[in-house]
Amino acid sequence: MTVKVHPQPAMPLLADPPPWNERPPPAAPECVGQSVLGNAINLYGARPANLLVIGGVHGDESEGIFLAHLLLSAGCPVLPCLNPDGALLRQRWNRHNVDLNRNLPTADWKPHALNPRYPPGAAPGSEPETEALLAALRRVRPSTVLSLHSYTESFVEIERAQEELSTALNEAVAEYTRAAGIERRSTVGYATPGALGAYGRDNGLLILTYELQRGRSHGELQGLLGPFLRLLERLEAERFAA
Ligand SMILES: [Zn+2]
């Protein structure tokens, strides 16, 4: 498939689908939940599948939200913006100022933030956006989840050793990281209790966290789309087994 990328799409990101995506999604999304402020959290291409793509866990990481919106017609299930309130407010957290990537019901969830930047919420799974993510996981029943973020440097993080993945999955990741000129890492370098990676370890899911380069123009994603769509195809082709 081909998707057209606009050099600098206009905000708001919350028009769903956004006006700058000229290839409309083939079907209406399923609403899997609502944010604190009542914004719909939509799942496109909802069906049982090996791969689920999510964007916008952190509302201020527009690069991932943008890329996820480009994939609405790619065929795989996509939840383009988990944190629409944060996207509206241009903040990392949801409207309760909770870091949704510390709020998942995991064995390692901690009630106190290890760092003021990462408030975990009142209880594991306390936030409506977390409920929406869990609803999407129940709907799609993926074995692999690719979560799109952005950071000061770009890399793909997989908290699993190479030996835990099949040759085909390792090759798919290696092919993409080579094409994008980025590293595969096994950790972000600090503990992330209540994060999707921990949820994946608890539940036998393979989690890929893709940190896009923050601040790059959205148009620069154009060159990565071919390899990226190929990565999605290959992740979808195989069911990861823990
Ligand atoms: Zn993030």
Extents of the domains making up the chain: 30-237
Closest alpha carbon to 45 in 35, 57, 60, 32: 32
pLDDT exceeds cutoff 70 at 5? no
- pLDDT mean across residues, the chain: 89
Does domain 30-237 fall into CATH 3.40.630.10?
Answer: yes
Distance 7 CA to ligand 1 centre (A): 23
Closest alpha carbon to 98 in 87, 81, 113: 113
pLDDT, tens digit, 9 for 90 and up, residues 74-117? 889 999 999 999 999 989 999 999 999 999 999 999 999 988 99
Distance 61 CA to ligand 1 centre (A): 6
Distance 156 CA to ligand 1 centre (A): 12
pLDDT exceeds cutoff 60 at 4? no
